[in-house]
Structure formats: structure tokens, C-alpha cells
Amino acid sequence: MATGIRDKVVILGMGCTKFGERWDTGPEQLMVEAFEEALKDAGVERKQIQAAWFGSAMDEVNVGKSAVPLSMGVRLPEIPVTRVENFCATGTEAFRGACYAVAAGVYDITLALGCEKLKDTGYGGLPGTNTGATRTAQWLPATSAPGTFAQLASAYAAKYKVPMEDLKRAMAQVSVKSHANGSINPKAHLRKKVSIEEVMAAPLIAYPLGLFDCCGVSDGSACAIVTTPEIAKAMGKKDLVSVKSLQIAVSNGAEVGYNNWDGDHFVTTAKASKRAYEEAGVRNPREEISMMEVHDCFSITELVTMEDLYISDRGGAVKDILEGFYNADGKVPCQIDGGLKCFGHPIGASGLRMLYEMYLQLQGRAGQRQLPNPRHGLTHNLGGMPYQNVCSISIVGRYGD
């Protein structure tokens, strides 16, 4: 009988580059930067890694379709390497592959690495991709990411009868909170605090989303090395960070194909989070989740996600956000490292970058950002559009807790 992943895998070490406009650095150098930090942190040698998973999404403008760039870039010892891609969940998908292999008993030590080099393309946002004729022609004609997520904001305001100015202020607070957190993170791309007034006065991108409601694009890489709790203990490792849950839900088209979805939330997040809490043994997420890194591609996405994760009540996220519930000193700090808003979104790296922050926090190594005694850390990725997407949820915590 299936028993899930809980406490079967621990993180041995992690690494993360500085994210940003890394004009002088190629993707291979970014991989090496994250890998070397993870290797040193794990206290293992390159030859001990038995298999690897490589997450990279924008292959045509980045590193290509195969797993060879990772193997060559960090000089892996001719081991199995698998390239994965799953929209914005790509980095977490690499982590999931590495963890499942260890949990299955196939390997003792595995590697997950995500990398994306996007600034060199010259695009202001994500470059266009071939997402398939059916999906493009039938579901995404003449769309843009800001446009579709702006519709999410309008649908949410209409569903819960929230005055648009109140919603815009709550969205502004989402960005203000993330910028405050990112300002003290040396690995963040954007490190400047902003005020609610600055956010609300910024140029509109797609009503009601303004400039500060949208995350940017950057270059970056992040890496994790995982093993079993028994091996980690035998190595003398203390304060083990354990994988409690890994869940993914993918849209089946029902949101856009039928009328029972009103466009105000993400079906996949609601389903994946329920399964994640069950797998992790979390009964009351509002009380038991200590911190979160969620997919704040747009401020409205973060706001709605708070409800899809069952942290805020339906229609209650605006109130919680404005009252500081998700601030660094709030009940459940969110984007304590600055989030996508301050790191940007090199797609293959983002999920692992989120886990990197949770890992540091649980080990008490987050420096100025350190939270008092965190227990469970949750990460959330959302790739695609509100009506057709992939959602991944990861929960990590102290081993045995």
C-alpha cells in the first residue's frame, strides 16, 4: 500500500546562485556556482552522486533539450541524468525525481538542479514557446500572462464583492512585503524597498495590475542533494531537513471547458494542497505551516493562493494581507526571501530556490531573515494560465517532527 514520501528523504545540502542580470555568466557557470555550494554544504564528493535530474524550461533559448549540459557543466561521473520540464514547476519536478529515486531505494544520493539563462534573449518577459497546436489555437489565442492574471483579479473582486481599490491596496501590500524581505537578501535580484503609495501609483500593465504587481525575468540556478535519513545520520549530519510531501496537480481542461469555474481561484492548487497536507500529516495549515514561498508571478496570484492553500478563508485573503498576517513578523511569513517579485523567475531554478530558503530557515542559517523556530515550510509553483496550469506543492520540515 502506498505510504507517500514523508520522512523517507532528507536534504543533504543545497546551493543557490545570486539571481539577476548575469550578463557575464553562462548557464554552465550558473550550474557550477549552485552545484559547488550544494556539494560543500552536503559534505560529499562528486563521485558519490549516483543520479541527477536537471530542470530547464526554455530550452530553445537556453541550454538545449537534453540532460547533457548538466552532466558536462558540473562534470558528473557518467551517471544517469534526466532532463525534466513542467512549466513553472520545472525545478520542483527535478527535486521530485531525485527524491522519489532515493525513496524507492534505487539510489543512495541523488542531485536535483534547475537553471535558466533568460536575460541574454533580450526579451522583457518570457520568450514565446511552442506549447502545442491544440493548446495554442483553442485555449490561448491572443493572450498574455499579465492579461489573463488581470482577469483573475477582476473575477476575484466580483466574486467576493471587494471594491477594486481595496483589492489593489492588498495587492500592493503583497509587493511591499516581498520587497522589504528581498532588500536584506544578498542573492535577490531586486533589493529596494517600496511603499504602498509607490506601488499603487506605478504604470498600469493590465488593469488592475501595475508594474510592481508583476515579477520580472532573471538568470539563476539552484541545487539540492538528497539522501535517506539513515545515510545522513551515519555521516554525522544534525538538524536534518526532511521531505514531508511532494504533490503535483495538472489541469485537465475542465476550468475552461465548463461553466462551474468562475475564474477567481486555481483548481489545481486547491487539490494539490489538500493532498500535500494529508501526506505531510498537517491537519490545520493556518496553525501548522510556519512559512511559505509561493508562486507570486503576479501579486494577485499570491493573494488568491493564500485561499487555495487553505491558510486564509475564501474571500478572507485581503483582510489577512492588510493586517500583516503574511509579513516577516506575521503568523505565516510568505516570501521571506523576497519571492519571485525580488528574485525574478528563471523558470527551471525557481522551485529549488524556494526550497533553498525553507532549508536555510529550518537549519537556522538564514541570517537577517531568520524566523523564530519554524516547523513546516511550504513551497508552491504554478505554471501556465489561471484556467490551464500545473501546480506543485512541497512541504519540508525537521526530521521526526
Residue bearing the bigger pLDDT, 257 or 396: 396
Domain spans in the chain, listed from the N-terminal domain onward? 10-120+219-234, 143-214+240-398
Does the domain formed by 10-120+219-234 have CATH 3.40.50.300?
A: no
Q: Is the pLDDT of residue 99 over 90?
A: yes
Question: Residue 127's pLDDT is what?
Answer: 65
- Any idea which of 27-41, 146-160, 244-258, 347-361 has the lowest mean pLDDT? 244-258
The band of 78, judged by pLDDT with boundaries at 50, 70 and 90, is very high
Question: Over the chain, what is the mean pLDDT?
Answer: 93
The band of 60, judged by pLDDT with boundaries at 50, 70 and 90, is low
- Architecture label for domain 143-214+240-398: 3-Layer(aba) Sandwich (3.40)
The band of 134, judged by pLDDT with boundaries at 50, 70 and 90, is very low
Report pTM: 0.95
The band of 143, judged by pLDDT with boundaries at 50, 70 and 90, is confident
- Per-residue pLDDT of 104-120, as tens digits, reads 999 999 999 999 998 87
**For range 85-93, the mean pLDDT:** 96
Q: Is the pLDDT of residue 202 over 50?
A: yes
Residue bearing the bigger pLDDT, 256 or 319: 319
Q: Is the pLDDT of residue 227 over 90?
A: yes
The band of 388, judged by pLDDT with boundaries at 50, 70 and 90, is confident
Q: Is the pLDDT of residue 141 over 70?
A: no
Residue bearing the bigger pLDDT, 57 or 119: 57
% the chain with pLDDT above 70: 94
Question: Residue 124's pLDDT is what?
Answer: 64
Topology agreement, domain 10-120+219-234 and domain 143-214+240-398: yes
Question: Residue 137's pLDDT is what?
Answer: 44
- 3-state SS, the chain, equals CCCCCCCCCEEEEEEECCCECCCCCCHHHHHHHHHHHHHHHHCCCHHHCCEEEEECCCHHHCCCCCCHHHHHHCCCCCCCEEEECECECHHHHHHHHHHHHHHCCCCCCEEEEEEECCHHHCCCCCCCCCCCHHHHHHHCCCCCHHHHHHHHHHHHHHHHCCCHHHHHHHHHHHHHHHHHHHCCCCCCCCCCCCCHHHHHHCCEEECCEEHHHECCCCEEEEEEEEECHHHHHHCCCCCCEEEEEEEEEECCCHHHHCCCCCCCCCHHHHHHHHHHHHHHCCCCHHHHCCEEECCCCEHHHHHHHHHHCCCCCCCCHHHHHHCCCCCCCCCCCECCCCHHHHHCCCHHHHHHHHHHHHHHHHCCCCHHHCCCCCCEEEEEEEEEECCEEEEEEEEEEECCC
**For range 3-8, the mean pLDDT:** 96
Q: Is the pLDDT of residue 133 over 90?
A: no
Question: Residue 132's pLDDT is what?
Answer: 45
- Per-residue pLDDT of 336-356, as tens digits, reads 999 999 999 999 999 999 999
**For range 268-274, the mean pLDDT:** 98
The band of 131, judged by pLDDT with boundaries at 50, 70 and 90, is very low
**For range 259-285, the mean pLDDT:** 96
